Chains A and B, each alone.
Chain A
Amino acid sequence: MRRTNDFVVGLVTLAGAAVIVGATLWVQQAALGQRESGVTARFRDVGNVQVGNAVVIRGVRAGRVKRIELADGGWVEMQMLLDPAVELPHDPAVLVSASSLFGEWQATVMSKSGLPPNPDVQQQIAEASGDRHVLPGASLPDIAQLTGVAARIADDVASVAERVQVAFTDSAARELRRSIGNVERVTSDLAVAVGRHSNNLDGVLVDVRAGTRSLNAAAASLRRTTARVDSSTSAGEITRMVADAGEATAQLRAAAVVLRAVADSLSASQGTLQRVLVRTDSVMVKVNAGQGSLGQLVTNPSLYHNGDSLVAELRDLVADIRAHPKKYVNVRIF
């Protein structure tokens, strides 16, 4: 009985221990019997990397993090175990970063030329370089930090959206809709106008083209004129022209003197005329005021009335003479 108990207990213990240890090693991906190569990298900060996290080369899992410990000089040294068949890339560096949104981190071994163009990363790598036996390492920001920034941005966007919502009322929406309709109409009108004026534009283009040709011709003509001027200068014609121009200027100066004398006599005549006009104006004022004979003649109606009655009496006298000539004419012979 005791032997049976011993046997059963021993068997169960061995089997259980084997199962438990085997399962643990399998889950832990422990490489029993394989010689793994160790690589050490140093960082200023390794983020949330933990022992057992994956080491990745060109996107393929190639090992795991074996140990992380603080080192002198403010460094953190991370030892990684790589599969024996794995070859490190040329000029390698190690970049630790989050591999998912759920807190998983991984160490990526890559060539320095393949590092992201992040100034912070480049600075970390440059700072950690220098030791031939230790790879330089850098860490990317934690996703929690990025999500924190994103959360702040989202808050800002939400705040802006809230303000827009406050400003963008129903009436604003209706006005905006109306504005859009207006813009559509304006656009269609513009399209019609453009279609209508396209022929004119074509004509303008033709004119512009013709103008350009004319300008070209004018330029050619100017070029020829310039050539002639150049040849004239060389033949002395310009000197002659300048001399002629000097003579003409002298004649013009003499004519100007004559004109100045004429202008002076005109100025004297103008003074005389002004005096005549003043006197005439004085006479006319007196005439209008009824002063003098002429004034009386112009303004006094009694002379008119007397004349008028005189004419009437003369008309009566003539009629009476015609009717009774003998009354007034008495012809006697002897």
Chain B
Amino acid sequence: MNAVAVAPTGRTRPQPLVGAVEGVGRLTRRGVEAVGRLARFVRDTARAVADVGTWWPLTTLHARLLGVDSLPIALFIAVFTGIVLALLASYTFTGAVPLYFVGTLVEKTITMELAPVLTGLALAGRVGASIAAELGTMRVTEQIDALETLAYDPHAYLVVPRVIAGTLMFPLVVGLAMVVGVGAGWLASLLLLDLSTAQFVKGMRLFFTEFDVRYGLVKSSSFGFAVTLTGCITGMRAGGGAQGVGRAATKAVVYSAVVILILDAFWAVVWLLGRTK
């Protein structure tokens, strides 16, 4: 409701200061509402985890849809990332730095950053949009209402299996992307650069610790959780017919990408910074 003042003649005129304050209050209310809806959604999903009988049979289905079927695109991205990274490293190291550091850079970069983030972004588009579109369609066609009518918990039936499948399968997909990416970098170094296998492996082993892999896998697991949860939230809140479903899918992709980048920074600050100091 806009702030107005009643003029002596009976006409109203807006008051700018009151309107600005109202705008701030409106934004705050919407923000709190969004957080509240998210928290309520997460709470309902957490409660639904207890309904194992409902979500467990569906988990492998979604694990295949979200994880196994995503392997080709993830490995495709990893192959080209590894090749480009090896060439980029050799271009950067020319002269000053020994060429075997190509292996170091390829291993560190792919394992800790590029494989989780690029794969996460790719799966955000594929998985997030897919979930949002599917659940949005179910929402606008009132299938979810029908589930509730049939005493099914839609969170246990629709959200939990997808979130669990995404959280578990993302690390697997990213782990394989790591291996394939580093392998592609090695092949590129072998075939395109003046670098031997021994040199590449020497550089790769130089600063390798199992923490690199652990960091990448944990990060990718959080990405999987965030992408599937975002897709489920936007899909479950879809409305307005096919157009609403499209908007939900778009929102899912955009929000998932943003959340992935925020989580990437979060893990770097929380985990890497603690090890660096």
Residues of A within 8 A of B (CB): 1-2, 5-6, 8-10, 12-13, 16-17, 19-20, 23-24, 27-29, 50-52, 100, 102, 104
A-binding residues in B (CB < 8 A): 57, 60-61, 63-64, 67-68, 71, 97-98, 101, 107, 169, 172-173, 175-176, 178-179, 182, 204-210, 213, 217
B68 touches A27 (CB 8 A): no
A12 to B204, CA, bound (A): 26
Contact A2 B208 (CB under 8 A): no
**Interface hub of A8, A9, A100, A102 (most chain B Cβ within 10 A):** A9
- Find chain A residues with CB under 8 A from B210 CB: 24, 28
Indicate if the CB atoms of B64 and A23 lie closer than 8 Å: no
Interface SS, B side:
helix
Among A12, A16, A27, A100, contact of B208 (Cβ-Cβ < 8 Å): A27
Q: How far is the CB of A226 from chain B (nearest CB, A)?
A: 84
Chain B residues within 8 Å of A27, by CB: 107, 204-205, 208
B61→A13 contact, CB < 8 A: no
Residue of A nearest to B201 (CB): A27
Picked from A2, A19, A23, A100, the residue with its CB within 8 Å of the CB of B60 is A2
- The answer to whether A12 and B97 have CB atoms under 8 Å apart is no
In Å, the complex CA distance between A52 and B211 comes to 12
Contacts of A5 in B (CB 8 A): 60-61, 63-64
**Which of A12, A50, A104 contacts B172, CB < 8 Å?**
A12
Contact B172 A13 (CB under 8 A): yes
How distant is the Cα of A327 from the Cα of B67 in the complex, in angstroms?
A: 195
Considering the chains assembled together, what is the distance between the CA atoms of A22 and B182 in angstroms?
14
The interface residues of chain A lying within 8 Å CB-to-CB of B98 are 100, 102
CB distance from B224 to the nearest CB of A (A): 14
Expressed in whole angstroms, the minimum distance between the Cβ of A245 and any Cβ of chain B is: 99
| Interface pairs A-B: 8 shortest CB-CB | A20-B175, A16-B172, A9-B63, A5-B60, A5-B64, A6-B60, A9-B60, A12-B68
- On whether the beta carbons of B205 and A2 are closer than 8 Å, the reply is no
Q: Check B209 against A51 for contact (C-beta < 8 Å).
A: yes
* Chain B residue nearest in CB terms to A30: B210
Nearest CB in chain A: distance from B93 CB, A: 11
Which of B57, B71, B182 is close to A12, meaning CB atoms less than 8 Å apart?
B71
A2 to B64, alpha carbons, bound, how many Å? 10
B68 touches A23 (CB 8 A): no
Are B208 and A17 in contact, with the CB atoms below 8 A? Answer: no
Taking a contact as CB atoms closer than 8 A, the residue among A8, A29, A52 that contacts B64 in the complex is A8
Contact B57 A2 (CB under 8 A): yes
Which residue of chain A is the closest to B63 with respect to CB atoms? A9
CA distance A100 to B101 in the complex (A): 12
Residue from the list B64, B67, B176, B206 in contact with A19, Cβ < 8 A = B176
Asked whether B208 lies within 8 Å of A102 as measured between CB atoms, the reply is: no
Q: In the complex where A16-B175, A17-B172, A20-B178 touch, is A104 in contact with B206 (Cβ < 8 A)?
A: yes
| CB of A47, distance to nearest CB on chain B (Å) | 16
Q: In the docked arrangement, what's the CA distance between A102 and B104, Å? A: 12
Whole-angstrom CA separation of A27 from B206 in the bound complex = 9
Given A12-B67, A102-B97, residue A20 in contact with residue B176 (CB < 8 A):
yes
- The residue among A10, A24, A28 with the most chain B CB atoms within 10 A of its own CB is A24
- Across the interface, which residues of B come within 8 angstroms of A2, CB to CB? 57, 60-61
**Complexed CA–CA distance, A8 and B210 (Å):** 28
Q: Which residue of A lies closest to B97 (CB)?
A: A102
Q: For the complex, what is the distance from the CA of A13 to the CA of B204, rounded to whole Å?
A: 25
| Alpha-carbon separation in the docked complex, A36 to B179 (Å) | 27
**Bound form: Cα–Cα A56–B142 in Å:** 69
Structural contact, A16 and B176, CB atoms closer than 8 A: yes
A138 to chain B, nearest CB (A): 24
Q: Is the CB of B213 within 8 A of A24?
A: yes
B80 to chain A, nearest CB (A): 19
Q: Which residues of A contact B179 (CB under 8 A)?
A: 19-20, 23
Bound complex: CA A27 to CA B208 (Å): 7
Q: How far is the CA of A6 from the CA of B62 in the complex (A)?
A: 10
